[in-house]
Amino acid sequence: MLATRRLALAILAASGLLSLAPAAMAAVHTGHVDLQDGLTLAQQFGYAPEFRQHVVTFDADNVPAIRSRGASQDDTSFVQRLEGGIWVRHDLLDALRVAYPDFVGTVHAGGYASDRVDFDVQGRAYTVLTIRLEEGDFRNVLLSSTDGCATWSVLELPFGNDTPLSGDHDRGNVASEHDGGRLLEGPPLIAVWRETAERFPLRPGGFS
């Protein structure tokens, strides 16, 4: 009888603590985040992913891939792919250096010409880039891979007549079709910007 009474008291005490828990949690979590001076969100909350953050796309086997982006809006150099639970880097620049020995670097690779790797139903990967050569010339190129982004082939594309600029709002002069939630049927549709009519000068308050 005494043991039963003790068990009943223990159950009542536990239920009382549980009923107080939501109120205590509400008192602790006020519904906002206190930011600490001098710290980024990543530093404050310890967010340190094993992949370079950028646009994520998926192949036919639902394996994610991310084309890298540097601190500059121009830079990319590799594709990261989740293989066996580990993010593996696959170089993009070696293929470009072979195709263009005077290759200097990529241009607007952070999201102007293209910002991602796209996949087709056969598992082939594609990515579009604008590159700069030593003499200051530019090229548009399509890189493709048939082995899970491990190696890349380079195909030169036509070049538009908008020279890439260093301004923040320059759009580049080439763009590729994105998967839009479904895999491509083959290589992406690629558009190159070319001016076909004289531009109208802008006047304050509207077009001339």
Q: How many domains, in total, are found in the chain?
A: 1
Task: Kindly state whether residue 37 falls inside one of the protein's structural domains.
Answer: no
Cβ neighbourhood burial of 204 (10 Å; 0-12, 13-18, 19+): exposed
Query: At residue 203, what are phi and psi to the nearest 5 degrees?
Result: -120, 155
Is residue 51 assigned to a domain? Answer: no
Least confident of 24-28, 64-68, 183-187: 24-28
DSSP the chain: -HHHHHHHHHHHHHHHHHHHHHHHHHHH--SS-PPPTT--HHHHHT---SS--S-EEE-TT--EEEE---SSTT---EEEEEETTEEEEEESHHHHHHH-TTEEEEESTTTTS--S-EEBTTS-EEEEEEEEETTS-EEEEEEEESSTTSS-EEEEE---SS---SSTT---SEEE---TTS-BSSSPPEEE----SPPPPEETTEE-
Whether residue 27 is contained in a domain is answered as no
- Does residue 10 belong to any structural domain of this protein? no
Domain contains 3: no
Residue 23 has pLDDT above 90, yes or no: no
Q: What is the pLDDT of residues 161-192, one digit of tens each?
A: 766 655 555 556 788 887 677 889 999 999 88
pLDDT band of 11, cuts 50, 70, 90: very low
pLDDT tens, 97-143? 999 999 999 988 887 667 899 999 999 999 999 999 999 899 999 99
Per-residue pLDDT at 87 exceeds 80: yes
The answer, yes or no, to whether residue 5 has pLDDT greater than 60, is no
Could you tell me the residue range of the domain that residue 127 belongs to?
56-192
Q: Is residue 198 part of a domain?
A: no
Residue-level pLDDT at 42: 80
Predicted pLDDT at 205: 54
- Note the pLDDT of residue 207: 45
